[in-house]
Structure 1
Amino acid sequence: MNSNKKLPVAVLGAGPVGLAAAAHLIERGLTPLILEAGPKVGANLATYRHVRLFSPWQYNVDKAARRLLQQHGWTSPPDDGLPTAGELLDAYLTPLAATPAIAANLLLGQRVIAITRVGFDKVKTKGREAAPFLIRTETAEGTRQYLASDVIDATGTWSHQNPLGADGIPALGEVVLAARIDYGMPDVLGSARERFAGRRVLVVGAGHSAAGSLLALAQLAEAYPKTSIVWATRGSNLTRVFGGGEADGLQARGQLGIRLKALRDSGGLELRQNFRIEQLEEVDGRIRVTGEPISGATPVIDGIDRIICAAGARPDLALTRELRVRHDPWLESTDALAPLIDPNEHSCGTVRPHGHNELAHPEAGYYAVGAKSYGRAPNFLMATGYEQVRSVVAALVGDMAAADDVQLDLPKTGVCNTRLAYDDAASEPVVSCCGVPAAQAASCCVPAPSPFGACGCSAPAKTSCCA
């Protein structure tokens, strides 16, 4: 910690990892200053309340946060339950934010726009580490500034979705037609139903968010037969989203892939591979999507009403322009963390534990944690973020033995994906991940039906993520 010991530690973002950081700071005798852009905590979670997590409650509650909550009579949900994002928000984050120690230090509606050091741009060195951090925010009442001894940046990536353009920048016409594009995972069968019912919808992306939206649209089409689905991917390799089927190490991912392959093979959607979007334009009231030329021919998708862009997300690096930060050139994580999380080599279940050492930047006292720490890598887990902040806070108080002792136990399956919660209460027979009735499959996970055709284990085995 720098010499400004009387100042609070700024925690940017009041999502699961940010509030966990605050709980660890409080437990260590430090004062957090929690700055949240949204009107309530967990603002990003609130945008996908309908999505059910595959990891059960026992992996979604930070240990220091649990201890703080229990001091105020909180009863934990059953460890083996599988919460939706909305349930995580309502049953965990909202009560956590209401505990006196956190509520007294939580400021909502504070969108961080810059972080620097008082009196120092990034060029000046002498005396730099002794200067407090200055955090500037935008609020409904105007610009505000706050001082802090250290900064834990848990601003995430979800609010900075990648564009449709294959070059990493918005496609031509994308900004103009933004009102007809949904980024991330809209609630296709819930609050966003009317936007998609009976429409010709283009889903762009080759990950599990895209898969979830495709399967939800297929379910919507059963009720609204005029709904048609087009799926566009930039490449031709669908191995990651289809998974390994019954042999997939993540059973839920395998089942999701099986459902998606069946949808494709049945003609339930139009698949356009190697389609790298270059331009969007309105033609006769609908959207024409033009791809980059292939072998002299220009691919076109016509007659689209709405687009779901599930192309991933990225961190907002502009916040730290005046800090001395060092990022991996392509993942935008710290350079030390990049080889541990490279999605070309790792799924989220194979990322080994890491803490303050891998998260440190040249700017002493500044740490990016949570999804932001992974940059553009999509394999982040909430439980990983909890261990990150435990290690970082231990380092801030000088307990290096605890800071260096990074450990993480994760379930063997179901940790890398989410599924929608739409018809969990469906009356159809419950079938296990093994494809037989759960009562006959004691060695298999106990499922909950979903449009993904996947299930989550009610008593998952533990394994070190180093295994």
Structure 2
Amino acid sequence: MNEAPVVVVGAGPVGLAAAAELLERGVEPLVLERGEQAGAAVAEWGHVRLFSRWAEVVAPAALRVLEDGLLEDGVLEAGGWHRPDDDAYPTGAQWVADHLRPLAAALGHRVRFGAEVTGVARRGRDRVVDAGRDTEPLTVHVRTTGGEERITARAVIDASGTWRTPNPLGGDGLPALGEGDAAERITRHLPDLREAAVRARYAGRHVVVAGSGHSALTALIMFDELAAEHPDTRVTWLLRRGEVGDAFGGGAADQLPARGELGERAEAAVKAGRIAVEAGFRTDTVERDVHDRLTLATVDGRRVAGVDEVVALTGFRPDLSWLSELRLELDTTLQAPVRLAPLIDPNVHSCGTVYPHGAAELAHPEPDVYLAGMKSYGRAPTFLAMTGYEQVRSIAAELAGDTEAARRVELTLPETGVCGGAGLSDGQAGGPAGDEQVADSTDSTDPADSAGAGQAGGCCGAPAETATPAASSPAAPTSAAR
């Protein structure tokens, strides 16, 4: 089994960083990406600017691979990659073009595109069978345009993110009654208002934004600016939580200045009365009226009527279906590894208060199987890209037999802020913002990384439309509207 590769699912920021870490330790990786390019999920929120600097969204091992120009069949020559300005704030598109694609190119044949992972199991053993389980390798079931195949793996790192599995608008975790019938009026990611057709869709309309993370705050700012140009535009903000509370984050106290500015600008728009706020609103039904407009209603009879468009930025959840034959030990609430869950509980933690963690917290009863990146956080929106980079550094050390390095902490997180959303669009007034949850979404499956292979991941996770500091979509990735 030691001669088989470590299969990494997802060619997003965290998945590619995992491959770089493994290579440095002499362990052969094989990255499988469902999309046709690295960072496929991040590319979908390419118009959003991260609230983390370049220095904070490039993994150390990835940087060494790029600067060395490395690897025998990679397309990069030594000196063929130019390092971005550490202090600049990239957009999702720049993150892909100037980091993720060059990194995948440098890794060469170790990254396969158009390869969708449909299942992982022990060879010849379903999850019920004990006999021989400890001696059989993992098999990864893959679907490509050429058909199906199975790949033998010594270990599997699932960095596929959550980008493809957004949470529904419904307040009970399931789609609201009528939500499916109104799907063409509900957008689940940050729209790119620079595009004329998209701008026309929302200008002069009643727009509802649902969610309380950075993606939602970004949307509020975007639509507030749109309303300044088109005064007939109305914006209503729905929060499931009973009051706005700390949804605006740490402001000037945030150690990520761009993230703090994001909250301040959204708060100013709300306080000025330009955005109507409906707190404690848990959508139960979505109805159409005689004018073909929507009415959102709660179980207790509260209603928001005359709605033209809904932007539901209510977070993401992991797709665990193709891991069903593995013995995973997941928290019953967050769907995160049980030893990790208490460290990331969003009722207690923000991105900066999550203790750095690695292989020990991410291990499962199934040996040599790890969830990493945004997917490892389950439904918690507190993920940062830099957190994912630390995860895979530790996992690579563990797989290489360096237990001491695996348990060592090599990360300090910025404090303050409420995590889980996206940044401002490229070119918007006010500068960068956003979180990298997106970066770990899975397309290859979220940004992140969430994007299966390349799903996006984010600062405190992604909306898949934002970025994080030294390590967060978005990529993905939006936080649950609590």
Query: Normalised by the size of structure 1, how large is the TM-score?
Result: 0.85
Structure showing greater radius of gyration is 1
- Structure 1 counterpart of 2:121, one-letter code: T
Q: 1:356 aligns with which of 354, 359, 380?
A: 359
Return the alpha-carbon distance in structure 2 between the equivalents of residues 111 and 379 of structure 1: 27
Kindly indicate whether residue 33 of structure 2 is the aligned counterpart of residue 26 of structure 1.
no
- Structure 1 counterpart of 2:143, one-letter code: E
RMSD: 2.3
Alignment map for 1:290-305 (pairs within 5 Å): 290-294=296-300, 298-305=301-308
Q: CA deviation at 1:206?
A: 1.4
The residue number in structure 1 matching 2:424 is 420
Return the alpha-carbon distance in structure 1 between the equivalents of residues 237 and 132 of structure 2: 55
Alignment map for 1:240-259 (pairs within 5 Å): 240-246=246-252, 251-259=257-265
The residue number in structure 1 matching 2:6 is 9
Pair 1:148–1:304, CA change in 2 (3 A): same
Return the alpha-carbon distance in structure 2 between the equivalents of residues 95 and 21 of structure 1: 15
The residue number in structure 2 matching 1:91 is 98
Q: CA deviation at 1:305?
A: 1.7
Q: Deviations over 1:127-147 (max 9, x none)?
A: 112212122233344433322
Q: Contact 1:334–1:359 (CA<8 Å) still a contact in 2? A: yes
- Structure 1 counterpart of 2:105, one-letter code: A
The residue number in structure 1 matching 2:89 is 82
Q: CA deviation at 1:242?
A: 2.1
The residue number in structure 2 matching 1:442 is none
- Structure 1 counterpart of 2:32, one-letter code: L
Gaps of 5+ in 2: 70-78, 432-467, 471-482
The alignment partner of 1:314 has SS state of: coil
Q: 2:129 aligns with which of 105, 124, 131?
A: 124
Return the alpha-carbon distance in structure 2 between the equivalents of residues 137 and 157 of structure 1: 19
- Structure 2 counterpart of 1:139, one-letter code: T
Kindly indicate whether residue 170 of structure 2 is the aligned counterpart of residue 165 of structure 1.
yes
- Structure 2 counterpart of 1:299, one-letter code: R
Return the alpha-carbon distance in structure 1 between the equivalents of residues 8 and 340 of structure 2: 21
The alignment partner of 2:396 has SS state of: helix
Return the alpha-carbon distance in structure 1 between the equivalents of residues 305 and 205 of structure 2: 13
The alignment partner of 1:286 has SS state of: coil
Pair 1:144–1:286, CA change in 2 (3 A): farther
Return the alpha-carbon distance in structure 2 between the equivalents of residues 179 and 85 of structure 1: 25
The alignment partner of 2:64 has SS state of: helix
- Structure 1 counterpart of 2:94, one-letter code: E
Return the alpha-carbon distance in structure 2 between the equivalents of residues 161 and 147 of structure 1: 31
Return the alpha-carbon distance in structure 2 between the equivalents of residues 319 and 156 of structure 1: 13
Return the alpha-carbon distance in structure 1 between the equivalents of residues 295 and 150 of structure 2: 44
Q: Contact 2:249–2:417 (CA<8 Å) still a contact in 1? A: no
Return the alpha-carbon distance in structure 1 between the equivalents of residues 382 and 206 of structure 2: 31
The alignment partner of 2:193 has SS state of: coil
Return the alpha-carbon distance in structure 1 between the equivalents of residues 19 and 183 of structure 2: 36
Return the alpha-carbon distance in structure 1 between the equivalents of residues 117 and 154 of structure 2: 16
Larger relative contact order, structure 1 or 2 (CA cutoff 8 Å, min sep 6): 2
Pair 1:262–1:311, CA change in 2 (3 A): same
Kindly indicate whether residue 325 of structure 2 is the aligned counterpart of residue 322 of structure 1.
yes
Shifted more, 27-36 versus 237-246: the winner is 237-246
- Structure 1 counterpart of 2:90, one-letter code: P
- Structure 1 counterpart of 2:127, one-letter code: K
Q: Contact 1:52–1:82 (CA<8 Å) still a contact in 2? A: yes
Q: Deviations over 1:131-179 (max 9, x none)?
A: 1212223334443332211100001112211000111011112122222
Q: CA deviation at 1:194?
A: 3.0
Return the alpha-carbon distance in structure 1 between the equivalents of residues 417 and 229 of structure 2: 29
Pair 1:457–1:363, CA change in 2 (3 A): closer
Q: CA deviation at 1:285?
A: 5.0
Pair 1:414–1:265, CA change in 2 (3 A): closer
Q: CA deviation at 1:404?
A: 1.2
Alignment map for 1:41-190 (pairs within 5 Å): 41-72=38-69, 73=79, 74-99=81-106, 102-190=107-195
Q: Contact 2:244–2:279 (CA<8 Å) still a contact in 1? A: no
The residue number in structure 2 matching 1:403 is 406
Kindly indicate whether residue 317 of structure 2 is the aligned counterpart of residue 345 of structure 1.
no
Shifted more, 49-58 versus 243-252: the winner is 243-252
Return the alpha-carbon distance in structure 1 between the equivalents of residues 155 and 253 of structure 2: 46
- Structure 1 counterpart of 2:95, one-letter code: L
Q: Contact 2:328–2:366 (CA<8 Å) still a contact in 1? A: yes
Q: 1:272 aligns with which of 278, 301, 312?
A: 278
The residue number in structure 2 matching 1:375 is 378
The alignment partner of 1:392 has SS state of: helix
The alignment partner of 1:410 has SS state of: coil
Q: Deviations over 1:5-64 (max 9, x none)?
A: 121111000000000011111222222121111111111101111221222111211111
- Structure 1 counterpart of 2:156, one-letter code: V
The residue number in structure 1 matching 2:477 is none
Q: Contact 2:35–2:115 (CA<8 Å) still a contact in 1? A: yes
Q: CA deviation at 1:393?
A: 0.8
The alignment partner of 2:376 has SS state of: helix
Number of residue pairs aligned between Structure 1 and Structure 2: 422
Q: Deviations over 1:185-240 (max 9, x none)?
A: 22234473233222221111112111100110111122222222111111222123
Kindly indicate whether residue 280 of structure 2 is the aligned counterpart of residue 282 of structure 1.
no
Q: Contact 1:280–1:287 (CA<8 Å) still a contact in 2? A: no
Return the alpha-carbon distance in structure 1 between the equivalents of residues 167 and 374 of structure 2: 14
Q: Contact 1:413–1:457 (CA<8 Å) still a contact in 2? A: no
Q: Contact 2:351–2:416 (CA<8 Å) still a contact in 1? A: no
Alignment map for 1:422-437 (pairs within 5 Å): 422-423=426-427
Pair 1:88–1:239, CA change in 2 (3 A): same
Q: CA deviation at 1:406?
A: 2.1
What is the percentage of aligned positions where both structures have the same residue? 45
Return the alpha-carbon distance in structure 1 between the equivalents of residues 147 and 231 of structure 2: 49
Q: Contact 1:18–1:154 (CA<8 Å) still a contact in 2? A: yes
Shifted more, 360-369 versus 146-155: the winner is 146-155
Q: CA deviation at 1:412?
A: 5.0
Pair 1:287–1:278, CA change in 2 (3 A): farther
The alignment partner of 2:31 has SS state of: strand
- Structure 2 counterpart of 1:256, one-letter code: L
Return the alpha-carbon distance in structure 2 between the equivalents of residues 335 and 457 of structure 1: 25
Q: Deviations over 1:334-376 (max 9, x none)?
A: 1101111111111111111111000000000100000111111
